[in-house]
Amino acid sequence: MSTSVDLCAPLAVLGADVQVPLVSGEKVGYAALDYAASAPALQRVWDEVAAYAPYYGSVHRGAGYLSQLSTDLFEQSRRTVADFLELREGDQVVFTRATTDSLNLLAGALPAGTRVFAFETEHHASLLPWAQAGLPVSYLRAPRSPEQAVAALAEALAQFPEGPRLLCVTGASNVTGELWPVAELTRVAHRYGARVVLDAAQLAPHHRVSVRELDVDWVAFSGHKLYAPFGAGVLAGRSDWLDAAAPYLAGGGASRTVAREADGSVAVEWHQGPARHEAGSPNVIGAYAVAAACRALTEAGFEALEARERYLIDRLTAGLAEIPQVKVLSLFGAEAARVGVLSFVVEGWNSSHFSAALSAEYGIGVRDGLFCAHPLVRTLLGGEEAGPSECGAPEPSLPGERSLNAIRVSFGAGTPEEHIDRFLGAVRELVSDGARWNYRNEGGRCVADTRR
């Protein structure tokens, strides 16, 4: 079926033509519907990286031509990211490995005793670094509407009116895809004198993120979810606490001067600015790839990308609503605005079994588990007992066991409509006819049994 509305074409991504084997021995085009974990590289990002690669050189103090070129491109990449995020004067962009790294960096840079507020619905990357850094944390219960979230934050902040405080909040849930009221939460946080870090890991690939407009103090995201899988991520925002903090890693690049003292000790003067937290040789290609993705998405236009994604989301949710055995997981209700991320369970099916059948029999790649957001998924599944403790690992499963985990389908700028339609057709068929093959556990993973 083709679209009846005027939409932009999907952006070209790597892997669009990859054929994968089915358990039957046939081959089909792979339908990559696990963008929320890692999105395929944009062709444009790949091409720009390939064009730069021969000119790659050591950055910063290299005297040669390629070193200078690479240093310029590295610093230009920082400016591109700053423009992409619409940073304020004086804000800085630190290149990290990914969102997890960015939030751990920030956790270590907060003034001593900073109280952190986080909803228990957060991804573990947003939930765990704070207590790990020895900071007091107020975990807020799962709200059932954006308004409840705002009210819960105000109430929590009122109980702790003094001292440095930080709210860490996701822009879009990695489980439900639902959008969080970031601007409203930030207004409340600022009214109480608290700062805000936005976890934009799932938001930035789908929506324009303007630090100026949202007024958040920091934002973190991952290159590999933004079509730039070259190992770089970003922490961007206010400089004051970052400049006052001990460097994230101690080493070259972060240190301006190191001198031996008369007493035999070593005195270090650390850099201010991004270099302070980027010790070691930086990931120039990764940073360049993130900047290339920022350029590509900006040029494609978020308005057009969002319109297309909205169409696919509506098509997906309408299709799933017609299958009574499918229960879509939601905190804020069916009408909540979301990005192209949706989790569900299927009555009578173990989620690992269902996902395995989608892959083995239809060539569709989704994800099953608790998606590194265990408290949230357990709440959404009705508070059922503990699922797996390892990130993304399914519990041992047999067909027909009840759901202790969920299935997540996620997509983005490179997804053709055909993938959504194929996915819906496969879900309908599996629900009505069952899997055609037998499945068994192999090392904790549900796999098709080819010994049929």
Shortest Å, Cβ 407 to ligand PLP:
16
Residue 391 is among the residues annotated as catalytic for this protein: no
Is 202 a binder of ligand PLP (CB under 6 A)?
Answer: yes
Q: Do strands 31-32 and 364-365 pair parallel, antiparallel, or not at all (unpaired)?
A: parallel
Total site size for ligand PLP, rule CB under 6 A? 13
Q: Report the SS3 class of residue 42.
A: strand
262: tokens are: 């008369």
What does the alpha-carbon distance between residue 377 and residue 441 come to, in Å, rounded to a whole number?
23
> Of residues 106, 201, 305, 312, which one binds ligand PLP by CB under 6 A?
201
Element (H, E) at 414: none
Shortest Å, Cβ 393 to ligand PLP:
15
Residue 443 class from Cβ within 10 Å (0-12 exposed, 13-18 middle, 19+ buried)?
Answer: exposed
Shortest Å, Cβ 228 to ligand PLP:
11
Q: How far is CA 297 from CA 36, 310, 341, 417, in A?
A: 17, 16, 19, 19
**81-110 mask for ligand PLP (x: CB under 6 A)?**
-----------------xxx----------
Between 34 and 395, name the residue whose CB sits nearer to ligand PLP: 34
Between 288 and 362, name the residue whose CB sits nearer to ligand PLP: 288
Residue 191 class from Cβ within 10 Å (0-12 exposed, 13-18 middle, 19+ buried)?
Answer: exposed
Q: Scan residues 145-184 and list those touching ligand PLP (CB under 6 A).
A: 170, 174
Q: How far is CA 64 from CA 59, 201, 269, 280, 391, in A?
A: 10, 36, 26, 19, 44
C-alpha 233 chain-centroid distance = 10
Between 171 and 399, name the residue whose CB sits nearer to ligand PLP: 171
Is 343 a binder of ligand PLP (CB under 6 A)?
Answer: no
Shortest Å, Cβ 268 to ligand PLP:
29
Q: How far is CA 35 from CA 258, 339, 353, 446, in A?
A: 44, 11, 20, 21
What does the alpha-carbon distance between residue 31 and residue 167 come to, in Å, rounded to a whole number?
37
Q: Scan residues 391-430 and list those touching ligand PLP (CB under 6 A).
A: none
Is 114 a binder of ligand PLP (CB under 6 A)?
Answer: no
Shortest Å, Cβ 342 to ligand PLP:
14
**266-285 mask for ligand PLP (x: CB under 6 A)?**
--------------------
What does the alpha-carbon distance between residue 125 and residue 272 come to, in Å, rounded to a whole number?
26
> Of residues 78, 123, 374, 378, which one binds ligand PLP by CB under 6 A?
123
> Of residues 222, 352, 410, 415, which one binds ligand PLP by CB under 6 A?
222
Is 359 a binder of ligand PLP (CB under 6 A)?
Answer: no
Q: Which of 8, 168, 294, 372 is catalytic?
A: 372
CA angle 3, 6, 9 (to 5 degrees): 80
Is 199 a binder of ligand PLP (CB under 6 A)?
Answer: yes
Shortest Å, Cβ 170 to ligand PLP:
5
What does the alpha-carbon distance between residue 210 and residue 191 come to, in Å, rounded to a whole number?
20
Q: Residue 20 CB: number of other CB atoms within 10 A? A: 15
* Active site positions, annotated: 372
Binding interface with ligand PLP (CB under 6 A): 98-100, 123, 125-126, 170, 174, 199, 201-202, 222, 224
